């Protein structure tokens, strides 16, 4: 079966070859007939001119007029013979086989046609204006001269026929246009072609321009290169540039990934794709006569490849609502644009790229203005949060956490250097003085406002211990998470240590106003019935133990939902609570309840609800995020274990039960 299919395929190929051979035979036959006709007329022209020369000599006519006609007339014959040969080459040769040779042949054809036209005009003019003696102006002379003039006028129209639609020269130029498109299409994006390819393209453009086809040539160049660049751009999947509208997103966070892609894709498009196209344009159209048109071509390629989509996307982001996170994204956008500034200035200079220049400058202006508007309003935005309520669990407000991390991020070299540059540009536009201290002062203002907010928020707590807990928590956070950071450097050492001191101050008051009241409930006053005696008022002992337990439960239940910002702070506070509560509890049990088992709560005496170890376990599980009821949080295991090792061993090893 395969052999039969091969035979059928071969038969089809042979049929096509035979058909093409027939068509070529007809074409050659037609050309031969035309060439034979031309040769006959040329032979007649040559013979007639020689006969005229002989007759003029015989009748002693003016030799000067005859001599100046014979030379150019003989050249006409030779030139037309050359044209016929060139026409044959142009019609049968394939430009793609050797485009350089084909263009050279085309150039020779143009020169030969021009020379033929000029010589024909010259000979016709001389024959028409030559003065002859009327006595010899016989009929043979008139007939031959008129016949020569007819042939010469017909030859004079050869160039016009060749350049007419469907004429040999027009057909050859059409072939060259097709080859130009093929060569340009073969030049891959991001790479410049070999010199011989550039030379061939230049040669084609020269020939097309010489034949008044420069506009057509430019159109072909733009269409092919635009198509190539567009395909490369489409591989990046840039649909997001057109899909996003500022009315469609509430926060820049929702389009943050697109902004990151925008910066990368813009750099790729400008620094690599368009830069290569710019260099290619300059190489191809390096002649001074093509310089202005060269930039026209590049501008069209840049526009049609989608540069306006990048600018439009950037403008859309600047129109979104003002928010702190947007400031960081605008700084990233400015950094991306500034990184490409020299590329933009080099690629899009000149009148042809005027629209791109204008739109780019407008985008930079929007980014700079938007950045400065948000930055100078940051402290105000923080202040506007002051009327809000503080966290019910005494934790660090999200605003404090956000502002601290945000300021530290803004002070990173990547953002800070860009912010300095942006503000300096903005101040220059407004003819205002600039200094880095302006930015430093504003950063300090932002943090200062946070402190004022804390003072206002703490007054809204009705529970005094919770207000102290809140301040202790936040001062520790500001101390811990600004120390050793750029924000800490700006705020200064005294500011940082001040927060540490405030934390210790409010920690002391927190313990005093809450857990510090428990030991007094286990007072030993009045427990001994008789002076110097050993009798104990058991009911009073139990009563005070009950009061202690109830107060402990009340405090514990309330503070179980409170949250400390840092593991180290939780360790510290829990240790202090343990030192305040547990030793007095152990001492009370040792003295007044020696008959009760210590490790396990008594099943017979309901006044002892907790053992000392139970208290330790409960306290060490306090202040964890999402703490469960009465120390049931699974997150406190690690801290509880560490506290037990350092506290329980020391405090409980001397108890009767342990002994």
Confidence (pLDDT) at 572: 95
Residue 409, judged by CB atoms within 10 A of its CB (0-12, 13-18, 19+), counts as: middle
Residue 450, judged by CB atoms within 10 A of its CB (0-12, 13-18, 19+), counts as: buried
Helix (H, G, I), strand (E, B) or coil at 360: helix
Confidence (pLDDT) at 11: 60
Confidence (pLDDT) at 190: 87
Positive or negative, the CA dihedral 427, 430, 431, 432 is negative
Residue 536 DSSP code = B
Confidence (pLDDT) at 5: 61
Whether residue 605 contacts residue 596, with contact meaning beta carbons closer than 8 Å, is answered with yes
Token pair for 489: 């450097």
Confidence (pLDDT) at 47: 57
- For residues 161 and 299, give the distance between their C-alpha atoms in angstroms, rounded to a whole number: 38
Query: pLDDT band at residue 144, thresholds of 50, 70 and 90?
Result: low
Q: Transcribe 139-184 into DSSP letters.
A: HHHHHHHHHHHHHHHHHHTHHHHHHSTT-HHHHHHHHHHHHHHHHH
Nearest in space to 99 (alpha carbons), one of 25, 198, 214: 198
Q: Tokens 């902004």, residue?
A: 259
Confidence (pLDDT) at 608: 79
The rounded mean pLDDT for the chain is 82
Confidence (pLDDT) at 81: 78
- For residues 236 and 247, give the distance between their C-alpha atoms in angstroms, rounded to a whole number: 25
Whether residue 617 contacts residue 645, with contact meaning beta carbons closer than 8 Å, is answered with no
Residue 485 has pLDDT above 50, yes or no: yes
- For residues 532 and 11, give the distance between their C-alpha atoms in angstroms, rounded to a whole number: 134
Token pair for 649: 């061993």
Confidence (pLDDT) at 113: 84
pTM of this structure: 0.76
Whether residue 45 contacts residue 148, with contact meaning beta carbons closer than 8 Å, is answered with yes
What mean pLDDT comes out for the span 274-288? 90
Confidence (pLDDT) at 524: 82
Count helices and strands in the chain by DSSP H and E runs: 28, 0
Diameter of the chain measured on Cα atoms: 181
Strand partners, 528: 536
- For residues 226 and 185, give the distance between their C-alpha atoms in angstroms, rounded to a whole number: 10
- For residues 138 and 318, give the distance between their C-alpha atoms in angstroms, rounded to a whole number: 94
Token pair for 56: 């003029």
Residue 114 has pLDDT above 90, yes or no: no
Q: Which parts of 403-474 are beta strand (E)?
A: none
% the chain with pLDDT above 90: 53
Q: Tokens 């707590």, residue?
A: 461
- For residues 410 and 418, give the distance between their C-alpha atoms in angstroms, rounded to a whole number: 10
Residue 234 has pLDDT above 60, yes or no: yes
- For residues 393 and 623, give the distance between their C-alpha atoms in angstroms, rounded to a whole number: 9
Each residue's pLDDT tens digit, 124-134:
777 776 544 44
Residue 433 DSSP code = -
What mean pLDDT comes out for the span 405-422? 95
Residue 542 has pLDDT above 80, yes or no: yes
Each residue's pLDDT tens digit, 35-92:
455 555 555 555 555 554 444 443 344 444 555 666 666 677 778 778 888 888 888 8
Phi and psi torsions of 202, nearest 5°: -60, -45
CA neighbours closer than 13 Å in the CB half-sphere of residue 234: 7
Residue 395 has pLDDT above 70, yes or no: yes
Residue 24 has pLDDT above 90, yes or no: no
């Amino acid at each position: 079966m395969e052999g039969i299919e091969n035979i059928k395929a071969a038969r089809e190929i042979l049929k096509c070859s035979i058909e093409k051979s027939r068509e070529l035979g007809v074409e050659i036959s037609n050309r031969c007939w035309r060439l034979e006709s031309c040769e006959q007329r040329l032979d007649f022209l040559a013979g007639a001119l020689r006969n005229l020369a002989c007759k003029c000599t015989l009748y002693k006519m003016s030799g000067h007029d005859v001599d100046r006609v014979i030379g150019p007339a003989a050249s006409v014959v030779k030139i037309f013979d050359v044209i016929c040969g060139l026409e044959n080459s142009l019609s049968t040769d394939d430009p793609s086989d050797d485009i350089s040779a084909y263009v050279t042949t085309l150039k020779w054809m143009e020169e030969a046609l021009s020379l033929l036209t000029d010589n024909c005009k010259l000979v016709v003019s001389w024959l028409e204006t030559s003065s002859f003696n009327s006595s010899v102006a016989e009929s043979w002379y008139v007939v031959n001269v008129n016949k020569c003039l007819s042939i010469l006028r017909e030859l004079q129209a050869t160039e016009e026929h060749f350049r007419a639609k469907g004429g040999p020269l027009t057909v050859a130029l059409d072939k060259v246009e097709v080859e130009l498109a093929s060569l340009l299409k073969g030049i891959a994006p991001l790479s410049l072609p070999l010199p011989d390819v550039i030379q061939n393209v230049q040669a084609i453009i020269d020939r097309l321009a010489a034949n008044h086809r420069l506009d057509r040539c430019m159109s072909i160049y733009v269409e092919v290169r635009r198509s190539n660049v567009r395909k490369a751009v489409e591989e990046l999947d840039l649909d997001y540039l057109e899909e996003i509208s500022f009315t469609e997103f509430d926060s820049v966070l929702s389009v943050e990934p697109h902004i990151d892609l925008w910066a990368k894709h813009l750099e790729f498009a400008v620094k690599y794709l368009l830069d290569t196209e710019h260099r290619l344009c300059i190489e191809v159209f390096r002649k001074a006569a093509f310089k202005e048109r060269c930039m026209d071509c590049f501008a069209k390629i840049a526009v049609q490849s989608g540069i306006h989509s990048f600018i439009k996307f950037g403008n859309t982001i600047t129109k979104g609502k003002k928010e702190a996170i947007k400031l960081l994204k605008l700084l990233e956008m400015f950094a991306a644009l500034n990184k490409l500034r020299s590329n933009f200035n080099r690629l899009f200079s000149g009148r042809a790229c005027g629209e791109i220049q204008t739109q780019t400058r407008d985008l930079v202006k929007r980014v700079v203005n938007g950045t400065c508007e948000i930055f100078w309003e940051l402290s105000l935005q923080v202040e506007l949060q002051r009327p809000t309520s503080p966290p019910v669990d005494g934790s660090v407000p999200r605003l404090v956490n956000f502002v601290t991390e945000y300021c530290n991020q803004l002070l990173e070299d990547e953002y800070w250097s860009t912010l300095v540059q942006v503000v300096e540009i903005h101040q220059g536009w407004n003819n205002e003085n600039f200094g880095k201290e302006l930015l430093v002062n504003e950063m300090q203002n932002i943090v200062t406002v946070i402190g004022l907010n804390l003072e206002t928020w703490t007054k809204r707590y009705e529970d005094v211990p919770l207000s102290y807990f809140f301040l202790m928590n936040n001062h520790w956070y500001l101390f811990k998470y600004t120390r050793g950071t750029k924000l800490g450097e700006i705020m200064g050492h005294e500011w940082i240590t001040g927060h540490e001191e405030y934390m210790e101050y409010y920690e002391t008051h927190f313990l005093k106003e809450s857990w510090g009241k428990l030991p007094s409930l286990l007072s030993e006053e009045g427990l001994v019935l008789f002076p110097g005696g050993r009798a104990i008022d058991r009911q009073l002992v139990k009563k005070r133990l009950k009061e202690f337990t109830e107060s402990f439960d009340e405090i514990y239940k309330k503070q179980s939902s409170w949250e400390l910002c840092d593991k180290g702070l939780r360790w510290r506070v829990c240790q202090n609570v343990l030192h305040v509560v547990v030793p007095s509890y152990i001492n009370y049990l040792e003295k007044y309840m020696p008959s009760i088992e210590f490790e396990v709560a008594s099943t017979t005496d309901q006044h002892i609800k907790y053992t000392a170890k139970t208290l330790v376990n409960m306290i060490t599980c306090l202040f964890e995020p999402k703490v469960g009821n009465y120390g049931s949080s699974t997150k406190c295991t690690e801290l509880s274990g560490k506290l037990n090792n350092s506290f329980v061993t020391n405090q409980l090893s001397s108890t009767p039960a342990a002994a």
